[in-house]
Amino acid sequence: MNTNKLWSADFIKICLSSFFLFFSFYTLATALSVYVTNGLGGSDTQAGLSMTVFVIASVLLRPFAGQLMTKYGERKIVVLSLLLFLLFSVAYLGVFGYAMLLLVRFFHGGTFAIATTSTNTTAIGIIPEHRKGEGISYFSLFMSLAMVIGPFVGLTITTHGGFTAMFVLCAVCSLIAFVLGASTKRQTREQRSASAANKQPRSKNTGKLHWRDLVERKAVPIALSGFVVAFAYSGLVTFMSVYTHEQALDQYASYFFVCFGIMIVLPRPIVGKLLDRVGEHIIVYPSIAVFTVGMLLLSQASSPAMLLASGAVIGLGYGALLPCFQTIAVLAAPAHRRGLATATFYLLFDLGYGIGSYSLGALAAGYGYSAMYMLCAIIIAFSSVIYFILHHKRKRLTAAAGDHALDPSEA
Q: Is the pLDDT of residue 406 over 60?
A: no
Residue 349: how many CA atoms within 13 Å on its side-chain side?
Answer: 20
**pTM, entire model:** 0.75
Task: Identify the pLDDT of residue 207.
Answer: 53
Burial 149-183 (b: 16+ CB within 10 A, else e): bbbbbbbebbeeeebeebbbbbbebbbbbbebbbe
**Do the beta carbons of residue 240 and residue 340 sit within 8 Å?**
no
Question: What is the pLDDT confidence band of residue 196, given thresholds at 50, 70 and 90?
Answer: very low
Q: Average pLDDT in the 395-410 region?
A: 57
pLDDT tier for residue 201 given thresholds of 50, 70 and 90:
very low
Specify the CATH number for 8-184; select among 1.20.120.1200, 1.20.1250.20, 3.40.50.80, 3.10.20.30.
1.20.1250.20
- The answer on pLDDT for 4 being more than 80 is no
Query: What single string gives the DSSP state of each residue in 290-326?
Result: HHHHHHHHHHT--SHHHHHHHHHHHHHHHHHHHHHHH
Pairwise CA distance, residues 244 & 372, whole Å: 13
The mean pLDDT value for 161-177 works out to 93
Residue 1 scores a pLDDT above 60? no
What's the angle, vertex CA 129, arms to CA 111 and CA 14, rounded to 5?
A: 35
308 — pLDDT class (breaks 50, 70, 90): very high
Residue 335 — pLDDT band, cuts 50, 70, 90? confident
Confidence of residue 192 (pLDDT cuts 50, 70, 90): very low
The CATH fold of domain 215-397: Growth Hormone; Chain: A; (1.20.1250)
Chain-centroid distance, C-alpha 156: 24
CB contact at 8 A, 229 and 352: yes
What are the extents of the domains in the chain? 8-184, 215-397
